[in-house]
Amino acid sequence: MKIAYVFPGQGAQFVGMAKELLEKNPEFESYFSKANEILGFDIKKIMLEGTMEELTQTDVTQPAVFIHSVLTAMSQSHFNPSMVAGHSLGEFSALVANKTLSFEEGLKLVSIRANAMQRACEANPSTMAAVLGMEDEKVDEICQSIDEVVVAANYNCPGQLVISGSMKGVELASEKLKEAGAKRVLPLKVGGAFHSPLMESAKEELKKAIESTHFNTPVCPIYQNYTAKSHIEPSEIKQNLIDQLTGSVKWTQCVENMIVDGASKFVELGPGSALIGMIKKINADVEAVKE
């Protein structure tokens, strides 16, 4: 049986996250000490005792979800993935899980990414919206018909897609999508237009950091958001990770390709269980569980 391990992205955080992990695995304290040193603030305190408001700051959210996900993978006694994938930020957790990156290098890149994205959001006020009950192709077509910046950002599962762009672009697209028959278009509470051309400045910053980081050859393939394909070559993995910031998260396509390549069971590692729901909507016949 081929098992695919998948890792969540921003939005999976919750108050008190990692509390249970630490209680069961007190040896993980050392990872929090390393994390506090790398980040320059007490991430453990915020994860265990912080408010939802604190946890939803991009520079906190991304490291928190990454740390929780990686430590969850480390806590699995029989962790032997045939393949891995992560949703947006989750791709970094997946790359630690398949030994491409160390915990420390992964966290450094996540921190740089989070801060760069935060600056890009401040420079260009922008937003995202979830589109429910419409075919992907129709959403793409409507986004392309608008003169403002607006793109399909996350292909989450059939009938659920997220658009991203300028305030005006998302507003115009939302109106057109409703007129064209979308069941619902819901504005998201996010800092800016992730996975859109408006993240270009963050992409340049992340590119420098990734290019100067050593990536090992992984122990199993990663299916990357940008291409939705299997990758094992470090130089390709680096480039796809860079391109992911301004490109779409092709989650539906990633899962479909993993199934074609033999994945018969998906295990979600990290906070929340959003990916399990998406996977079951992509293919109801595969086994999908939360660890």
pLDDT by residue (tens digit) across 52-100? Answer: 999 988 899 999 999 999 999 999 988 999 999 999 999 999 999 999 9
Digit-coded pLDDT (tens) for 228-251:
999 999 999 999 999 999 999 999
The answer on pLDDT for 124 being more than 90 is no
Q: At 6, which helix (H) or strand (E)?
A: strand 2-7
Backbone angles phi, psi at 93, to 5 degrees: -60, -45
The answer on pLDDT for 202 being more than 90 is yes
Q: How many CB atoms lie within 10 A of CB 227?
A: 18
Catalytic residues: 88, 195
Of 91, 198, 106, 118, nearest to 153 by C-alpha is: 198
CA dist list (Å): 276 to 168, 234, 268, 281, 286: 33, 28, 7, 9, 10
Domains located in the chain, CATH noted:
2-122+197-290 (3.40.366.10), 125-187 (3.30.70.250)
The answer on pLDDT for 205 being more than 90 is yes
Report how far apart the first and last C-alpha atoms of the chain are (Å, whole number).
Answer: 17
